[in-house]
Structure 1
Amino acid sequence: MAKGDDVEVLEVAGHSVRITNPGKVFFPERGNTKLDLARYYLAVAEPLMAAMGGRPVLLQRFPNGVTGSSFFQKRVTPTKADPWLTTTVVSTPNGTTSNALVAVDLAHVLWAVNMGCLGFHVWPNTAADPAHADELRIDLDPSPGVTFPMIQEAAAETKALLDELGVASLPKTTGNRGIHVYARLLPHWDGYTVRAAAVAVARALERRRPDLLTAAWWKEERGSRVFIDFNQNAPHKTVFGAWSVRANPHAQVSTPFTWDELATIEPRELTIETVPTRLSERGDAWAAMTAQDLAPLLDLHEHDRADGLPDAPWPPVYPKMPGEPPRVQPSRARHE
């Protein structure tokens, strides 16, 4: 590590990465600086790269820390100072393309940190194989009135269903109030197919525990239940990445954990200060994640189709899809 006039230069992955204004406070409530954030990512480098290495990432930049304004940056252009930056072409739902940063190595991560990126929104495919989504991401989203113990119970139900279907899964905190359940997939299916599997999982979970879980896209139909956000698997959709730091006052980390820890996990305790120690003591909770077959979940999808269920609603930024029901709130449709 070299020091200059208000600059720290980190030698990482064969590149010299500048951290300008390293003492700038990014988390005022805790006093953590930009350099503290960079050091955190250095400390979790191995599992971080195992989770998102080689994937395109969307940057949400907070140039003045968590209390300042932020903006999303999808387009990245290598500069004269950093010609080694790697990008790849990604698309939006309407077909617009841009060159997104690829998390090739930790130097790319720290370059983004220097730009004020706290955490990373990650594509479900690698840059080398954009046609295939190799992750199923079950987002257990807390609706108003949902407590974290309810989220934990929802995660347990998700695990039980996937276990019955022979699909191994692993959880992580979202860094806020939810839990994500991931299954690594063989790179054989596109995002449309993986989303169809996610819709089937959401509906199966709702049938098992309608008191706790809902697949209802419209908020007015959810009540105080955990929403299984199947559309996090829609093509071109990014999800907040494992080991990434959230822009909240506590500097919480979206932390992988084991199923044995589900009942005791406390998201507020998982921060940029505590997670490196936890990692050194317990290792990477996702180290055993392996690629699997999506077929059992696609069988669920086919059963739903045979029962006459239409597709679930898509987000409004997507074009109208074949078999999709009308994009009208149920209360409005009844009124009309």
Structure 2
Amino acid sequence: MAPAPEAVAVEAAGREVRVTNPDKVFFPERGETKLDLVRYYLAVEGPLMASCADHPVMLQRYPEGAGGPSFFQKRVPASRPAWLQTTVVSTPNGTPSEALVAADVAHLVWAVNLGCLGFHVWPTLAADPDHAVELRIDLDPSPGVSWAMVREAAGEVRRLLDELGTPGLPKTTGNRGIHVYVRLEPRWGSIEVRAAAVAVARELERRRPDLCTASWWKEERGARVFVDFNQNAPHKTVFGAWSVRGHVGAQVSTPFAWEELEAIDPGRCTLATVPDRVAAGGDPWAPLYEHPRSLEPLLELSAADRAAGLPDAPWPPVYPKMPGEPPRVAPSRARKSR
């Protein structure tokens, strides 16, 4: 029997990218290898690059493959191809780092060779770090929340955004939640985009207090879908569309059409099945990129909340205290300290 190849050369975006240890199993449930993951990203190159081209991306490396330990690498290694594009970004605590730019699929294949399974994407373009081009509505299931409840919450998001004239499109997270994205005109910074997301979360809670919550503190959420507005805070990354999770079953964060909401099964959207979905139906997010939207209707919703006396929502602990933010302490602790 011939020995397994130590490396293979893969053509990606007109470049030859070296993939070492191509037969290493990355996803033990079905046995997909590093080379299988590379071929997956090449198979979905069109919609993948439409979603993340020219965005900085965070590297999360799995040295032992899916299911094993992982670590985030904020800085691109010094040993890298001369053609690799990078940009300087800031982490939430303000630390600058040199991040990979998703300039083309060859850049992502290079990262897969380092053990990166999927990609955490900045909402800004490398060439314009001051303006976000995406609003990301993260529907995060609290304990006790079913997949049916997450789908129902997504339907509420759809109705609200359509009413405001800022339609979005959904994707599975590759886990238990749903993300709804709105493509934005590049006119607003992340502070404003987060304010819009806070307003969306609060409006959803007003409309469906039985189903949705804008409560940052877990002790107040109950068995409701948390609309995580802080995923839009400055310098936050979100797990990217078409990216493969570090799960043994190789689940993919899969964009889908609203018409699929009742039928979509995130557990079945995998490295093995998603290329066929794309081949059969194309890119369900294509309309998203054709008509970037104004954030103004959502900022008007935010202004109405402020006029009604609502303060800003709490920020994550890694951020400095922000203007207008309420005390950053859990309600139960605040009561005890009185």
Q: Would you call these one fold, judging by a TM-score over 0.5?
A: yes
TM-superposed CA distance for 1:5, in Å, is: 4.0
TM-superposed CA distance for 1:14, in Å, is: 2.7
**TM-score (ref. length: structure 1):** 0.97
Q: Is the Cα–Cα contact under 8 Å of residues 52 and 103 in structure 1 kept in the other structure? A: yes
Match of 1:332 in 2: 333
Q: Is the Cα–Cα contact under 8 Å of residues 194 and 229 in structure 2 kept in the other structure? A: yes
TM-superposed CA distance for 1:63, in Å, is: 1.5
Q: Is the Cα–Cα contact under 8 Å of residues 200 and 300 in structure 1 kept in the other structure? A: yes
TM-superposed CA distance for 1:6, in Å, is: 1.4
Give matches, 1:63-212, under 5 Å: 63-77=63-77, 79=79, 82-212=81-211
Q: Is the Cα–Cα contact under 8 Å of residues 77 and 99 in structure 1 kept in the other structure? A: no
Take 2:280 and 2:93, find their aligned partners in 1: how far apart are those partners?
A: 45
Q: Is the Cα–Cα contact under 8 Å of residues 196 and 301 in structure 1 kept in the other structure? A: yes
The one-letter code sitting in structure 1 at the alignment partner of 2:232 is N
User: After TM superposition, which residue ranges in structure 1, 4 or more long, deviate above 2 angstroms?
Assistant: none
**TM-score (ref. length: structure 2):** 0.97
Take 1:171 and 1:99, find their aligned partners in 2: how far apart are those partners?
A: 30
Provide the identity percentage: 68
Q: Is the Cα–Cα contact under 8 Å of residues 5 and 22 in structure 2 kept in the other structure? A: no
CA displacement, residues 293-331 of structure 1 (integer Å, 9 cap, x when unaligned): 000000000000000000000000000001000011101
Match of 1:230 in 2: 229
Take 2:280 and 2:48, find their aligned partners in 1: how far apart are those partners?
A: 16
Q: Is the Cα–Cα contact under 8 Å of residues 28 and 249 in structure 2 kept in the other structure? A: no
The one-letter code sitting in structure 2 at the alignment partner of 1:275 is V
Aligned to 1:185, the other structure's residue is in SS state strand
1:52 aligns with 2:52: yes
Q: Which ranges of structure 2 fall in alignment gaps of 5 or more residues?
A: none
Q: Is the Cα–Cα contact under 8 Å of residues 55 and 126 in structure 2 kept in the other structure? A: yes
What is the CA RMSD across the aligned residues, in angstroms?
A: 1.2
Take 2:77 and 2:297, find their aligned partners in 1: how far apart are those partners?
A: 41
Match of 1:41 in 2: 41
Give matches, 1:180-329, under 5 Å: 180-289=179-288, 290-329=291-330
Q: Is the Cα–Cα contact under 8 Å of residues 60 and 73 in structure 2 kept in the other structure? A: yes
Take 2:329 and 2:217, find their aligned partners in 1: how far apart are those partners?
A: 9
Take 1:326 and 1:178, find their aligned partners in 2: how far apart are those partners?
A: 28
Match of 1:21 in 2: 21
Q: Which ranges of structure 1 fall in alignment gaps of 5 or more residues?
A: none
